[in-house]
Structure 1
Amino acid sequence: MEAVAKLKNYPTSPRKMRLLADEIRGMDVEKAIAMLENHPQHSATPLNKLVRSAISNWEQKNNGQSAADAGLVVKTIFVDGARVLKRMRPAPQGRGYRVRKRSNHVTVIVDSKN
């Protein structure tokens, strides 16, 4: 039985978050958490919390069964674009350059190996 956790409107670009998501896709949950705890990228912290939340959701669905005994894996993880804040930055000769501050939505699905 699979469990889902979602992170919405996290203020970093989807491209940067996809780099981390691609690294942990299909990985064992314990290995994914260990890798995210030691990863230098700033997006690793909310992704670590999201994976832990998905594990907790799985345990609640399965009547408190331990996630370590079940051998959970990150079955699916995907990153979608979210709202974009549009700002203006001063430019030469009275013009303005548009700055697009992107954010993203992340969805994690964990499931047992068998």
Structure 2
Amino acid sequence: MEARAIAKYIRISPMKVGVVLDLIRNKNVNEAFAILKYTPKDAAEVIEKVLKSAVANAENNNNLDRSRLVVAEAHVGPGPTLKRFKAGPQGRAFRINKRTSHITIVVKERA
């Protein structure tokens, strides 16, 4: 059995989120929460919320034991990019891409 949680349209670039997801992949849920608590990245706060949601889904919907849960999958995909323009010299404009992310976390019970 597995439980998942998805957060969409998060205003952090997928590359920045991926760095933090690599830290918690294949870890015990309690260990993952400890890692996220002390990771000094903005993405860690959002990922912690998604992980809490996945754990709650596992406990309430699938009756899984929290102490045996492991982060089986953790991946991020690009969401829509907000395209903005910044004034440049001599009447030019420079494009700024404000990227968004879709974060997916799947937890499974360890055998």
Task: Measure the CA separation in 1 of the matches of 2:52 and 2:65.
Answer: 13
Q: RMSD over aligned Cα, in angstroms?
A: 0.9
Aligned length: 111
TM-score by length of 2: 0.96
Using the size of structure 1 for normalisation, the TM-score is 0.94
Any gaps of 5 or more consecutive residues in structure 2?
none
Which letter does structure 2 place at the counterpart of 1:45?
E
- Report deviation, 1:66: 3.7
Do structure 1's residue 111 and structure 2's residue 103 form an aligned pair? no
Structure 1: which 4+ aligned runs deviate by more than 4 Å? none
Q: What is the alpha-carbon distance in structure 1 between the residues aligned to residue 77 and residue 91 of structure 2?
A: 35
Match for residue 92 of structure 1 among 79, 89, 94: 89
Structure 1 unaligned spans of 5+ = none
Q: Does 1:72 align with 2:69?
A: yes
| Equivalent-residue separation in structure 2 for 1:112 and 1:30 (angstroms) | 13
Q: What percentage of residue pairs aligned between the two structures are identical? A: 37
List per-residue Cα deviations over 1:20-56 (Å, max 9, x = no partner).
0111110110000011011110110010011111000
